C-alpha cells in the first residue's frame, strides 16, 4: 500500500491534526506543551483570519521583542508579566500554608549580581528622595528566626525608574542590596520611598499594550527575594498602602497581606518614612524552590 494513503493533507480543517500526528504519542512534556501551543495558535488564526500582512506584523513584533532584550532588560519577561502568565505560573507553583509569605513575580528589573551591604546601611547611593527606613524579620512558620537567610531587595527611585533603566543617570546598583539578618532574624536598612510608575512604554511590549488601551500602572512597591538553605525561596513585593492605584497593578501582584502602611518618622532629625515587614518561610519540599 502506498504511504501516501497515510498522509494527512494540511488544510484549514486538519491543520492541528497534521502537526500533532508527527509526534506519535506525545508523552514528553515538551512535545505535549508544544502541541498545545500550536493547537491554540491555529485556533486563533482560524478565529481572526489575519491577512498575510497582518500575520507578518505579528512576526515583526515578536522579532522586535527579541531584539529589545539583553542582559539589562528582558522584554520577554515584561510581556509574560503583562499578560498574567508569570503571575499564573507563580500561583500554580508556589501555594503555601496559611501564614507563610506569598510569592509574587520577580519582574524584569532583577539583577543577579546585587552587592552585599551591611545592616543599617543605605542602598540609596545618590540620596535622591524621601528617606525610608525598612525594618524586618525573617522567620519560619513556628516564629523561629531564620538566621541563614539572604534578603535581596531592589526598587524604583522617587521618579519611578530602576537603576538599570537609567544607567547614565543613576549610580551602578543604586537602590539594590543584599542583607543578612542578625541572630534574631532581624534586618534593617535605609533607602528612599519609591514612586509608582508606568510599565516601560519605550519598547515593543509597552507600545502594543498602550495602543490596545490596557492600563500600564504599577503602584509603589519594594521588591524582595528571601532565600535560605532548606527553605522555599520567597519572591515578593511590599506595596505602599497610600498608593491610589493598588487596584490596577499591571503585573497582578497586589495581595492584601503585602500592602503595608509607610509611617512617618524621623531619620537623623529629618522627616522620613518607616515600614516594618515580616517574611515567613516554609521548609522546602522536593522539587520546590530550594
- What is the per-residue pLDDT across 232-288, written as a single tens digit (0 to 9) for each? 999 999 999 999 999 889 888 999 999 999 999 988 888 999 999 999 999 997 755
Left, alpha or beta for 213 (phi > 0: left; psi -120 to 50: alpha)?
Answer: left
| Residue given cell 515583526 in the structure block | 60
pLDDT tens digits for 154-163? 999 999 999 9
Q: How far apart are CA 6 and CA 241, in angstroms?
A: 63
- Cα dihedral 113→115→116→119 (10° resolution): -130
At residue 24, does pLDDT exceed 80?
Answer: no
- pLDDT interval class at 1 (50, 70, 90): very low
Distances (CA, A) of 155 to 16, 98, 193, 221: 44, 27, 9, 7
φ/ψ bin of 97: left (φ > 0), alpha (ψ from -120 to 50), beta (otherwise): beta
d(CA 144, CA 280): 9
Would the pLDDT of 289 be above 70?
no
- Asked whether the beta carbons of 90 and 102 are under 8 A apart, the reply is no
Greater confidence, 39 or 26?
39
Amino acid at each position: 500500500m502506498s504511504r501516501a494513503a497515510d498522509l494527512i493533507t494540511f488544510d484549514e480543517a486538519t491543520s492541528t491534526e497534521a502537526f500533532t500526528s508527527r509526534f506519535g504519542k506525545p508523552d514528553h512534556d515538551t512535545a505535549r506543551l508544544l502541541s498545545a501551543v500550536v493547537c491554540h495558535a491555529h485556533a486563533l488564526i482560524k478565529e481572526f483570519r489575519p491577512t498575510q500582512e497582518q500575520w507578518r506584523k505579528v512576526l515583526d513584533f515578536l522579532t522586535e521583542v527579541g531584539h529589545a532584550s539583553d542582559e539589562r532588560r528582558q522584554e520577554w519577561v515584561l510581556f509574560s508579566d503583562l499578560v498574567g502568565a508569570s503571575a499564573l505560573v507563580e500561583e500554580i507553583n508556589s501555594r503555601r500554608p496559611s501564614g507563610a509569605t506569598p510569592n509574587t513575580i520577580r519582574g524584569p528589573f532583577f539583577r543577579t549580581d546585587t552587592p552585599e551591604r551591611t545592616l543599617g546601611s543605605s542602598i540609596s547611593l545618590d540620596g535622591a528622595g524621601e528617606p525610608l527606613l525598612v525594618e524586618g524579620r525573617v522567620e519560619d512558620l513556628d516564629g523561629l528566626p531564620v538566621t541563614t537567610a539572604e534578603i535581596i531587595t531592589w526598587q524604583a527611585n522617587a521618579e519611578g525608574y530602576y537603576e538599570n533603566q537609567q544607567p547614565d543617570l543613576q549610580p551602578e546598583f543604586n537602590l539594590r542590596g543584599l542583607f543578612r539578618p542578625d541572630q534574631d532574624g532581624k534586618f534593617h536598612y535605609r533607602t528612599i520611598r519609591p514612586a509608582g510608575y508606568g510599565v516601560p512604554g519605550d519598547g515593543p511590549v509597552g507600545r502594543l499594550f498602550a495602543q490596545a488601551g490596557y492600563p500600564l500602572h504599577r503602584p509603589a512597591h519594594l521588591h524582595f527575594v528571601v532565600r535560605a538553605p532548606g527553605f522555599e525561596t520567597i519572591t515578593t513585593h511590599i506595596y505602599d498602602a497610600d498608593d491610589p492605584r493598588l487596584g490596577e497593578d499591571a503585573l497582578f501582584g497586589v495581595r492584601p497581606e503585602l500592602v503595608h502602611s509607610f509611617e512617618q518618622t524621623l531619620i537623623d532629625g529629618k522627616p522620613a518614612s518607616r515600614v516594618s515587614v515580616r517574611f515567613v518561610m516554609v521548609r522546602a519540599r522536593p522539587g520546590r524552590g530550594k
